[in-house]
Amino acid sequence: MTALRIAPLALLLALAGCPAPEKPADDEKAPATGEASPAADEEEKALYAFGASLARYAAGMKLSEAEVKSLEKGLEDALLGRALEVDPRSYGPQLQKLITERRAAAAAEEKQASAEFLTQEAGKPGVEKLASGLLYQSVSEGAGAAPKATDRVKVHYKGALRDGTEFDSSISRGEPASFHLNRVVPCWTEGLQKMKVGGKARLVCPAELGYGERGVPGRIPAGAALVFDVELIEILPEVAKAPPAAGKATPKAAAKPADKPAAKPAEKPAAKPQ
């Protein structure tokens, strides 16, 4: 890997809160011949991955190559302690305006493309369009019971964008996901209630039944339609609560945290964007 190009805007926004890579030990440095040692090569790859992971902070801005070069120049000057050509503190309002406008334009473009995608999907054989806008297609009918919205279920699934890009998959992780249906996005709550244990289905979800205008930075664009291939494995029994011991006062119950299912993209979005 001869060049290391780190997503500059993302790094500038998050550098203060991220740990710096550790300096390699003397015996891990590149040999005097100039060839990179395996340890040095792995460090460079790790730094590249660090930059790529931070790119989510600039998600949705659709920066051009020339714009990325400007960002790289600012990043390079700041990290190397050079005199800055522009004071970042004085450009806060301009930067916020730029981010807001770019993300709004990208979201509008995605919403239009998603609307066209949903229209095409709705016309396919075997697809049922529900009143909510959810497109439901049974792939194979199950023979078990159908879950209720309050049930906890175990599923295998794959989540993808309209272009087929996979953003999450319990199948890839090799472990089914378990969660309550009333604690996930509406697309899952409604769609899985139409399934029976042992069945498989394809859910095509309008943005308003998924992550809406917020999306998931770096993973799901704002306004994006989503596609989930789901297998309903089991309806899980509720865990029984142990009664308090006789003669002992019942302590004040602590607030029960919401489930954190493995199916991260299926979780309800937070009330406020981060």
3-state secondary structure labels for all residues of the chain? CCCCCCCHHHHHHHHHHCCCCCCCCHHHCCCCCCCCCHHHHHHHHHHHHHHHHHHHHHCCCCCCHHHHHHHHHHHHHHHCCCCCCCCHHHHHHHHHHHHHHHHHHHHHHHHHHHHHHHHHHHCCCCCEECCCCCEEEEEECCCCCCCCCCCEEEEEEEEEECCCCEEEEHHHHCCCEEEEHHHECHHHHHHHCCCCCCCEEEEEECHHHCCCCCCECCCECCCCCEEEEEEEEEEECCCCCCCCCCCCCCCCCCCCCCCCCCCHHHECCCCCCC
Tens of pLDDT, residues 37-72: 788 899 999 988 877 776 777 777 878 889 888 888
pTM of the model: 0.68
Residue 234 pLDDT > 60: yes
- pLDDT tens sequence across 122-160: 999 999 999 999 999 999 999 999 999 999 999 999 999
CATH entry, 128-239+261-266, from 3.60.15.10, 1.10.287.110, 3.40.640.10, 3.10.50.40: 3.10.50.40
How far apart CA 255 and CA 212 sit, in angstroms, is: 28
User: Could you state, in order of their start, the residue ranges of all structural domains in the chain?
Assistant: 8-85, 128-239+261-266
